[in-house]
Structure 1
């Protein structure tokens, strides 16, 4: 009969590998969205996703899958602790990798305005027009800095001058969107910690079983 320690380990292991699927899915879907035709609904998030370490996210997901596979022999070999130790070190690597990715995105939020200024300068006029329409703004800092894109939202200089620049609403959107991403990354690190603790408990459990087995062998041998 499987005991609670093993069940807890299995539950943590499957949740752990599920985070790898989550990271892989997010990274691949995001890369697909970036290549899609920009619209008013996706232009802002796609520009932000283009600045995220999506390729590193795919690599991180692969590490998580490999870590899950490393733990499979430990289930087949109930007395083995070597594979569990290897999995524990691999979990530490995955958790560190995910933490670094989260910190990279978090640091970007600390310099949102300067980062967005660079993004805006590299954005094609069509995308700038979509951003103006999305946030009902004209230009970046204001209608003249840099000059606004003439479109339905900003049809002329007079109307454009009466509207705010895009920097503030774009910054607010970027902060809330990136906050969600790096908070999710830190949440995954928390799951990694739970997984690591589960591995440690499993190793300790098997050490105890080994000790009791040796005691029984000595007692049996003394009869």
Structure 2
């Protein structure tokens, strides 16, 4: 958006100013206006708003997805640290486009990504127009079964996940935590970038690489 664009903000926000003045808070205000508009349309329903742009406070109005990613193992790895960093920054409801937005995922990549992504706070598969179909059943029966088991596991954990969101609402704590939260005094845990804690009891560890090696699993905290 050109910085010369004029926004007529409320007086308490700064009044009539160009976009450079409102740039950082613009995403927050978009999420807020969408949320409040949906509430006016149906006050008996809880709005769900999804945004890519945001600012401090946007977690009050919207979930955040991590943007247009690529169907690569590197971006699968990156999605873990991005979700954790967003959580530490006060954005508890976040997640990537599972399988990658741009490019063509392989069955192994999509299945592994769904295994990890099904335990992110925000879980959604999505891809751009022109890429191969990214529905679980598009990759064959084996991948479809992997995705089915991953999603069933998420639904079994809904009571825990819902509780973690309640704590995020009332205490400001992340839903997905870095592994070192299990023992902040252990410096070795601060180096782990391929695992995270889902609450105080459950840890998901994913050891993944692009040649098909590695394992993933769910267990107790370190």
Q: Tell me the TM-score normalised to structure 1 length.
A: 0.23
Which protein shows a greater Rg? 1
Please state which structure has a larger fraction of its residues in strand. Answer: 2
Q: Tell me the TM-score normalised to structure 2 length.
A: 0.23
